[in-house]
Amino acid sequence: MALNDTSSSDYWNYLFVDLADPRTNDWPLIKSPVPGLTILAAYLYFINSLGPRLMANRKPFKLEKTLIVYNLIQVMVSCWLVFEGLDAAWLRHYSWRCQPVDHSRSPQAFREARGVYVYFLAKISELLDTVFFVLRKRDRQVTFLHLYHHTVMPMISWGTTKYYPGGHGTFIGLINSFVHIIMYAYYLLSALGPQMQKYLWWKKYITNMQMIQFCMAFIHQMQLLFTDCGFPRWSVCFTLPNAIFFYFLFNDFYQKSYKKKKAAAAKRAAEELLDNNNDPTVKDHNKIAALETNTKKVL
């Protein structure tokens, strides 16, 4: 029994201490996977069970001011992450083809690690997106895609912060943060009230941007298969399938939300036109209108 306990302890230390980056391993929520997994478990329990039961006999919360502040903070954080990703890495020091992690304790390396950690904290904070959906009774927006995305991203960013806080993998965080600037800006404008709806015609293009980001991430990660710079090649076993899966999920959402709805609306319009043409009253009305038009042209 003691031997088994020792073996388990050694395995735990090897996996979560020896392999971890010593610079980030003691940062809050990073040392052990338990706090993060507990947050995700509580999140899923609230979304799928507790939240709907609490809201069953209540009116939906409006949360106007809360949403304005929340979305503004998300825009600001995403802007900071994009600036840090470009200024501290990709526009100055990083190779676009293959970039290893700088595990040193230099100010530059710590700056890169800090950016990765803030990105992880941002993914944790974004769980509130779904919480707000439940409190506002927007159940239609709590889709499999939404839950999968919000559950997987904190786990991936936790692993990145703990083991490889920097290097090649941060490109995904950079482009994702850029898309989130646009996305949360849209949510911010939407939260300002109905008077902003006329300026929000570009919603579907956010989904297009999300699909493009997964294509970019796939191509960028593929380079690891042909280039060796010290960044772990085995990471593509997680990143490439995930990029493909996310792409098809978002594409399916786009087809259902926009193209299929547009086709259905066109079909309904055609059916209404056909019904009108089969209506004798409408036929006579159309004939009179056509006659009046032709008469005006002759005159």
Phi/psi of residue 69, each to 5°? -65, -45
Q: Is 173 exposed, middle or buried (0-12, 13-18, 19+ CB in 10 A)?
A: buried
Instruction: Report which residue type is found at 68.
Output: I
Report which DSSP code applies to 208.
H
Cα 15 from Cα 20, distance rounded (Å): 7
Asked whether the CA dihedral 100, 106, 107, 110 is positive or negative, the reply is positive
What is d(CA 231, CA 74) in angstroms, rounded to the nearest whole number? 30
Instruction: Tell me which residue of 105, 210, 245, 92 sits closest to 165, measured CA to CA.
Output: 105
Burial class (CB in 10 A: 0-12, 13-18, 19+), 250: buried
Select from 164, 187, 49, 181 the least CA-distant residue to 101: 164
Q: Residue 63 and residue 60: Cα distance in Å, rounded?
A: 9
- The residues annotated as belonging to the active site are 149
Q: Quick one: tokens of 120?
A: 């992880």
CA distance linking residue 253 with residue 142, whole number of Å: 12
